[in-house]
Amino acid sequence: MPYGYYSYGYGAGLNSLYILLVLVSLALGLATQAYIKKTYRKWSNVRASLPGSGAEVARRMLDEGGASSIGIDRIAGELTDNFNPSDGCLHLSSANFSGASVASVAVACHEAGHAVQAQKGFSMYRLRCSLVPVVSFASNAWMAVLMIGVFMNVMGLVKIAIFLFAATVVFSLVTLPVEIDASRRAVEYLGKYGSGLDQKGARQVLTAAALTYVAAALVSILQLVYLLGQYGDRDRG
């Protein structure tokens, strides 16, 4: 997130509250990334009891969940796994596509959980999808609108910028139940067809992943509060 531009736009300099926001954001980001990598590595060394690779187990989960039309392919990178509803495909990183560890299967089934959400019309998933075009515009436009409003001293534009940024915060909050539900579906599936160890490992890996979304939502809320504080001070002035 563009903290530097954000502070500069207000012309407020690096005040103590802003510095605290940056430090908290960095600490949360680093801590959650370190935790998920540590947890993922731990369970990457434990073979799942279910037969097959992450892609094969995800395929079975998709078929059982009524999402047999969803494809699965390999994508570059580490932990870049995602479900793309626009092309109807699970994109799994190489390690999770072909790996047979608890971590690989857990991540693959989590993404399969998103596909099942789409297939079954899970309400929060549909809400998040409906917000994507708005949030895509808002996330790209709010900073430019804010800077123009501040430099031209047009508080109406500043209010619009805050509204646009608030939309991205709402999106972060809506994302949380979507991710939690996808993980719940994955853990339940692994518990049904695998061992207690599979379920335990999947829960740990996916909980660690969920913390990244929690941290992102918290940082967004703090950023919005800071922005409202700065706006409120200037508006009263």
CA distance 200 to 190: 9
pLDDT computed for residue 2 by the predictor = 30
pLDDT computed for residue 230 by the predictor = 82
CA distance 135 to 127: 12
Question: Is 180 buried (19+), middle (13-18) or exposed (0-12) by CB count in 10 A?
Answer: middle
Q: Of residues 56, 64, 78, 111, which has the active-site annotation?
A: 111
111 a catalytic residue? yes
pLDDT computed for residue 180 by the predictor = 97
Q: Please write down the long-range contacts of 227-235, taking CB distance under 8 Å and 24 or more positions apart.
A: 227/6, 227/162, 227/165, 228/162, 229/17, 230/10, 230/12, 231/155, 231/158, 231/159, 231/162, 234/10, 234/155, 234/158, 235/155
Residue among 27, 43, 232, 130 at smallest CA distance from 122: 130
pLDDT computed for residue 229 by the predictor = 86
Tens of pLDDT along 171-228?
Answer: 999 999 999 999 999 999 999 999 999 999 999 999 999 999 999 999 999 999 988 8
Tens of pLDDT along 19-71?
Answer: 888 898 899 989 999 999 999 999 999 999 999 999 999 999 999 999 999 99
pTM, to two decimals? 0.88
Q: Is the pLDDT of residue 1 over 70?
A: no
Q: Is the pLDDT of residue 236 over 70?
A: no
